[in-house]
Amino acid sequence: MKNVLNVLIVICCMIIFAGCGNDADSDNKSDGSTTLQISNQSSKELDQVVFQSVFFMKENADVIGTWRGVSSTRQLTLVISENSFTSSLNSFASQGSWTRKGNTLDFKENIFQMTKQYATATISDDVLTVNLETSSGIYTCTSDNLQKSIKFGTSVTKQIAAGGGYIFFKVNSVDYYTNEFVVVEANEKAMFSFTNNTLVVEVNNPSELVKLGDI
C-alpha cells in the first residue's frame, strides 16, 4: 500500500511539473515577434532584397523621392520626404504633410496656418497615381531616385513568419540568392550579414558559386 501511495505521489508531481512546463512554453510562444535583420557589410549595393516574399527596404522607401507626371497640359512634380511634401503644378507651388495606409497616401496642404485636403494617391509597381483635390485629372507619376536598396553599413529589420528560405537580391540589375538556406525560428530576432565573402548564386547560372565581393 505504501508503494502504491509513493507511485501516486510521483505521478501527481510529474503532472504538476508538466503543467508548469506547458505554461512556460506558452509564454515563450506569445512573447515578442519573429524578425530578421539583414545587414550589408559588403562593398556592393544590394537592391530589391527579398526573404519569404517580404521586401527589405527602409520604411516608405518605395514612395520617398521625386515624382513627375503629366495630365493634359499640366505637369506635376511631387517631392515626398519622410514627413512632408512639396509640389509644383505648372507654376503653382504647394507644401504640407502626408500619411499612409497600406498602398494609399493622403496629402494635406498647409495654407496660412490652415490644413486642407490636397490629394490622394496609390502606389503600385513603382507607379504613383495622384488624384489632386484642387484640379481635374489624374497624374500617373514615376520616379528615378527612389532609394530601395541596402547600402554598405546599413541594415533593415522586418517582421516575418517563422521558417526558412534563401535571400534574393539584385546587384547591377542581375538576380542572385544566398547559397545559405536561412532559417528563422518562431519569436527569434535573427540577423544575416552580407560581407564580401558571402557565397551567392546567380539565378541564371545556379551551378556556380561566387563571392559577393567578386561580382
Does any domain span residue 39?
A: yes
- The C-alpha atoms of residue 134 and residue 132 are separated, in whole angstroms, by 6
Q: Is there a single domain that holds both residue 75 and residue 135?
A: yes
Asked, for residue 9, whether it belongs to a domain, the answer is no
- Domain final residue, candidates 143, 171, 189: 143
**C-alpha torsion sign, points 25, 28, 34, 37:** negative
Q: Same structural domain for residues 131 and 106? A: yes
115 lies in some domain: yes
DSSP string for 18-80 = HHHHHHHHHHHHHSS--EEEEEE-SSSPBEEEEETTEE---TTTTT-EEEEEEETTEEEEEEE
Digit-coded pLDDT (tens) for 88-146 = 998 889 999 999 999 999 999 998 888 999 999 999 999 999 999 877 679 999 999 99
As for how many domains the chain has, the answer is 2
The answer to the question of residue 3 being in a domain is no
Cβ 96 vs Cβ 78: under 8 Å: no
pLDDT in tens, 151-210: 999 999 999 999 999 999 999 999 999 999 999 999 999 999 999 999 999 999 999 999
Interatomic CA distance for residues 144 and 155, integer angstroms: 23
Rounded to the nearest 10°, the torsion over CA 156, 42, 82, 175 is: -80
Q: Which three cell numbers stand for residue 190?
A: 535573427
At 36-93, the pLDDT tens digits run 999 999 999 999 999 999 999 999 999 999 999 998 889 999 999 999 999 999 888 9
The span from the CA of 57 to the CA of 159, in Å, is 12
Question: Domain residues for 180?
Answer: 33-58+148-214
The span from the CA of 89 to the CA of 92, in Å, is: 5
